[in-house]
Amino acid sequence: MAASRGSEKFQNFYDILYIYPENGCLARRCSPCYTLCRISRFDASRGRGAGEVMIDLKLVQKQPEVLAKALADRHSELDVNEFLSLDARRRALLAEVESLRNRRNTASGQVATLRREGKDAAPLRAELGGLSDRIKELDGQTAQARADVEAWLMRVPNIPDASVPVGRDETENVEVARWGRPRAFDFPAREHGDLGTALGGLDFERAARLTGSRFVVSLGWAARLERALVNFFLDRHTRHEDYIEVSPPYMVNRATMTGTGQLPKFEEDLFKLREWEYYLIPTAEVPLTNLHAGEALDEADLPRAYCAATPCFRSEAGSAGKDTRGIIRMHQFTKVEMVRFAHPDDSFNQLELMCGHARQLLELLELPYRVITLCTGDMGFGSAKTYDVEVWLPAQNTYREISSCSNCIDFQARRADIRFKPKGGKTAFVHTLNGSGLPTGRTIAAILENGQQKDGSVVLPKALVPYMDGAEVIEPR
């Protein structure tokens, strides 16, 4: 299936990997990620690693360039050779300690036999005296070697799907769809921050006083509009689509953040509690995807869909000076998130479906948008394929991201240990998808800018009128 989608550039790449054809999802199951990143399972509820590191090094030993290429397409700084030496050390230690254990186990069995027969086991016991200490010592070294390997693997990004264009940065993303026509203005379109402030709904000054920059206070119609949008979005997802509404924790532990890929690499993007090993969620994707961490779902339960409206907290480290006007980039914003758990054979269909759900919302809100496929250099860490939906913002005279829909395939499922049991087959990792549907802030920005009139009033989309107690227009005071 991936082969038919595959770009020429990736064709070779995936052909190498067509090794495990039994499960019908060739490219994904054969991706280097599958063989490489069989990272230790951890029990999210307990917040620490519980399993063995699971690595199949053979493929990398034979084809180290496979992973190297994937990393290069991602512009990753990771060096495959570093991994190879780390893992070689791990395996050498493992072989040694395992043979010692074997010796101890057989000898212990002999002691038991001798005792049962009433013979003297003392000499044998004396011989085994120092064995456990030596094993303990080697165990420590092995655990460290394993941790080194694991730490390396946790920083390996997901492998791009064959259909993803190879590219350096956002300039090489590919537009795949466009809906609606940007309105022609017979007056200069005003920026949403100005409009919202003038209409008395947005207050940046007081927010800065309460907290700091990149926060906003919504008042009156703006607060009401935010609530209306949350209800409108959730109603669509739960009444017209198959999503189960969730109200999750807004702060989660370290294992949960690791499960979806925010940690260990992106700690600086997160707000962390000082006295607790808890983090504020940057998106509801984190609690929703981890909802089934450590579980094995019924195959019949797939696909399974959840949605949640939550605040999202982001430090926006590294974006100083970017989007300083308006409410495009806040430390806290409210977003409705969609998450889907899919069968590996079905996940790319589910991506199209879910992206369609996000697009539908914009169409109902009469907001022009376009859809782009992110290239390899612009994709998020955990994603194998991402569509960005971009809404038209007249004041910026451009399309801006309002939803990002990603298929993470088995990347997060492996980290969070989310599996399913196929009928008559071995348990396998599910595929996880997530998408915004939609954030309230950027949606309000788009509604204000696209619906503005010459007198500074804003016409609301018809779909929202019932959610706004019948109000059709936001009037200047």
56 binds RNA (CB under 7 A): yes
241 catalytically annotated:
no
Type of residue found at 225:
L
Smallest gap from residue 39 Cβ to RNA (A): 9
Type of residue found at 3:
A
316 catalytically annotated:
no
From 70, 320, 345, select the one nearest 213 (Cα to Cα): 320
51 binds RNA (CB under 7 A): yes
Q: Which of 75, 119, 136, 462 binds RNA (CB under 7 A)?
A: 136
Angle 212-228-240 from CA coordinates, rounded to 5°: 130
463 binds RNA (CB under 7 A): no
Nearer to RNA, 90 or 331 (CB): 90
- As a whole number of angstroms, the distance between CA 192 and CA 211 comes to 22
Smallest gap from residue 300 Cβ to RNA (A): 9
Cα-Cα end-to-end distance for the chain: 58
Instruction: Estimate the share of the chain in helix, then strand, then coil, as percent rounded to the nearest 5.
Output: 45, 20, 40
128 binds RNA (CB under 7 A): yes
52 binds RNA (CB under 7 A): yes
Smallest gap from residue 400 Cβ to RNA (A): 38
Q: Treating both helix axes as pointing N-terminal to C-terminal, what angle do 440-451 and 221-235 enclose, rounded to 10 degrees?
A: 110
Smallest gap from residue 408 Cβ to RNA (A): 19
28 catalytically annotated:
no
Q: Which of 9, 125, 168, 209 binds RNA (CB under 7 A)?
A: 125
Q: Which of 5, 91, 178, 265 binds RNA (CB under 7 A)?
A: 91
Q: What secondary structure does DSSP assign to 15-82, as a single string? A: HTTTT-GGGS-HHHHTSHHHHH--PPPEETTTTEE-S------HHHHH-HHHHHHHHHHTT----HHH
The residue annotated as part of the active site, out of 150, 254, 442, 449, is: 442
SS3 191: coil
Smallest gap from residue 121 Cβ to RNA (A): 7
Total number of residues binding RNA (CB under 7 A)?
A: 49
Nearer to RNA, 8 or 22 (CB): 22
The residue annotated as part of the active site, out of 329, 363, 400, 457, is: 329
163 catalytically annotated:
no
In terms of DSSP bridges, do strands 419-421 and 296-298 run parallel, antiparallel, or are they unpaired? parallel
In terms of DSSP bridges, do strands 369-373 and 174-179 run parallel, antiparallel, or are they unpaired? antiparallel
Q: Which of 15, 98, 277, 472 binds RNA (CB under 7 A)?
A: 98
Smallest gap from residue 286 Cβ to RNA (A): 18
The residue annotated as part of the active site, out of 383, 403, 404, 436, is: 404
Smallest gap from residue 19 Cβ to RNA (A): 4
Nearer to RNA, 161 or 417 (CB): 417
The number of angstroms, rounded, from the C-alpha of 271 to the middle of its chain's C-alpha atoms is 17
210 binds RNA (CB under 7 A): no
SS3 407: strand
SS3 216: coil
The residues, any chain, with a CB within 8 Å of residue 314's CB and separated by 6 or more, are 269, 270, 271, 282, 330, 331
- As a whole number of angstroms, the distance between CA 268 and CA 272 comes to 9
Nearer to RNA, 99 or 319 (CB): 99
Nearer to RNA, 72 or 107 (CB): 107
Q: Which of 24, 109, 220, 311 binds RNA (CB under 7 A)?
A: 109
117 catalytically annotated:
no
- Interactions with RNA, residue window 418-437 (CB under 7 A): 421, 423-424, 426-427
Burial profile 320-357: b = 16 or more Cβ within 10 angstroms, e = fewer: eeeeeebbbbbbbbbbbbbbbbbbbeebbebbebbbeb
Smallest gap from residue 457 Cβ to RNA (A): 39
Cβ-contact 287, 256 below 8 angstroms: yes
Q: Which of 5, 16, 43, 356 binds RNA (CB under 7 A)?
A: 43
137 binds RNA (CB under 7 A): no
Cβ-contact 250, 280 below 8 angstroms: yes
46 binds RNA (CB under 7 A): yes
Contact flags string 356-385 toward RNA, x per CB under 7 A:
------------------------------
Backbone φ, ψ for residue 50 (5° rounding): -130, -15
Cβ-contact 47, 349 below 8 angstroms: no
Q: Which of 16, 72, 78, 121 binds RNA (CB under 7 A)?
A: 121
Please report, as ranges, the residues that interact with RNA according to CB under 7 A: 19-20, 22, 38, 43, 45-58, 91, 94-95, 97-99, 101-102, 104-109, 111-112, 115, 121, 125, 128-129, 131-132, 136, 296, 421, 423-424, 426-427
Instruction: Give the residue numbers marked as catalytic.
Output: 314, 329, 401, 404, 442
